[in-house]
Amino acid sequence: MNRVVAIIIISLAPIIGCGWQMAGIDMTSGERLFRSNCRSCHTLPNPKSQTDSDWVALVKRYGGRLDLVTEVQAEIIAYLQSVN
């Protein structure tokens, strides 16, 4: 199941990315993954609302519930920490 999710995300990333770029929004892949995955359950939290280590724990906990592969979790964590 994790592999299927990763393949779908990787396959859709260029399409989703183009849509955001066409709208004048330039996002990293980590930000796109954060927005698309985390929004599936709740409103998006402010990246500055947690510490860097808190984000690691939160993304791993909830990323596991969503069956997000380690690489996707790492990209989300890197994005959150970069804007924290």
What are the φ and ψ backbone dihedral angles of 42, each rounded to 5 degrees? -160, 175
pLDDT in tens, 3-62: 766 666 666 655 555 454 445 568 999 999 999 999 988 999 999 999 999 999 999 999
- Encoding tokens for residue 49? 């609302």
Are 44 and 34 within 8 A, CB to CB? yes
Return d(Cα 26, Cα 61) in angstroms, integer. 28
**Model-level pTM?**
0.69
Q: Which residue has the higher pLDDT, 77 or 11?
A: 77
